[in-house]
């Protein structure tokens, strides 16, 4: 079945129904404390932003269910990932059915839509952390404050490109590695590095950032990369 009206339902049109299902799924997670349900909650919530239209959600839901069922045929233990994508697929189809019944729409720009889904996803992750505890305490707080200072300074000079936020994650990884180490310092730096590299490469090849911004990104990013390599070598 193809419907032009459904095809024109952008992520803003689908967001209400997808987020409604995601929040219901998150509420179930808070009651059950199941890791697969938390994974499904995060997947569904992020899909509310990245799905271009109704059919993107349908195809994504079908693919998730298909892969999850295929995993059932293998002997390999995928842990909670199998359940997460299975419940995410079911939930996305529930969201499309809800959209048929109540085709509500929200009028948010891309930045606000991103912040909305990120806050909802982060809430369900962090609320479980508050119940079970965190692996890092004061040292992580110092690293967060330091990274925010770096972001503020770079933002003031170069603006709010996503390289700015990549540099913030890189700074967090460097500071945490210097203070206490741990795997999160590795993953934070790696995530920030890829975000920074994507933006710097895009601006270098296709423009979009002024000379001052590019110089700032390259200098600060280069310093953080060298600092991380040194800390890694020192260990």
Burial class (CB in 10 A: 0-12, 13-18, 19+), 128: middle
Tens-place pLDDT, residues 130-170: 776 666 566 677 888 888 899 999 888 887 788 888 999 99
What percent of the chain stands above pLDDT 90? 30
Tell me, what's the pLDDT at 115?
A: 79
* The pLDDT value given to residue 12: 59
pLDDT value of residue 40: 93
- Which tokens sit at 174? 């460097």
| Residues in the chain with pLDDT values less than 50 | none
Q: Give the DSSP per-residue string, the chain.
A: ---HHHHT-BHHHHHHHHHHHHHHHHHHHHHH--HHHHHHHHHHHHHHHH--BHHHHHHHHHHHHHHHHHHHTSS---THHHHHHHHHHHHHHHHHHHHHH--------HHHHHHHHHHHHHHHHHHHHHHH--S--HHHHHHHHHHHHHHHHHHHHH-S-HHHHHHHHHHHHHHHHHHT--HHHHHHHHHHHHHHHHHHHHHHHH--S-HHHHHHHHHHHHHHHHHHHHHHHH-
CB-CB neighbours of 51 under 10 Å: 23
Tokens standing for 191?
């995530």
153/74 Cα distance (integer angstroms): 51
């Amino acid at each position: 079945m193809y419907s032009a009206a459904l095809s024109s339902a952008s992520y803003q049109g689908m967001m209400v129904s997808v987020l409604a299902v995601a929040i219901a799924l998150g509420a179930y997670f808070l009651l059950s404390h199941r890791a697969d349900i938390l994974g499904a909650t995060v997947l569904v919530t992020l899909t509310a932003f990245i799905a271009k239209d109704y059919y993107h959600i349908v195809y994504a839901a079908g693919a998730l269910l298909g892969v999850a069922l295929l995993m059932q045929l293998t002997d390999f233990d995928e842990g909670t990932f199998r359940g997460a994508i299975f419940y995410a697929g079911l939930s996305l189809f529930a969201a499309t059915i809800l959209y048929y019944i109540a085709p509500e729409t929200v009028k948010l720009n891309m930045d606000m839509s991103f912040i909305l889904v990120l806050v909802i996803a982060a809430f369900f992750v962090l609320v479980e952390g508050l119940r079970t505890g965190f692996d890092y305490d004061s040292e992580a707080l110092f690293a967060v404050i330091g990274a925010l200072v770096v972001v503020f300074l770079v933002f003031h000079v170069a603006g709010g490109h996503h390289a700015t936020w990549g540099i913030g994650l890189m700074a967090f990884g460097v500071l945490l590695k210097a203070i206490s180490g741990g795997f999160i310092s590795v993953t934070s730096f790696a995530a920030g590095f890829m975000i920074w590299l994507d933006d710097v490469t895009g601006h270098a090849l296709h423009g979009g950032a002024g000379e001052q911004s590019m110089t700032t990104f390259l200098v600060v990013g280069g310093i953080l990369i060298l600092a991380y390599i040194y800390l890694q070598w020192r260990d």
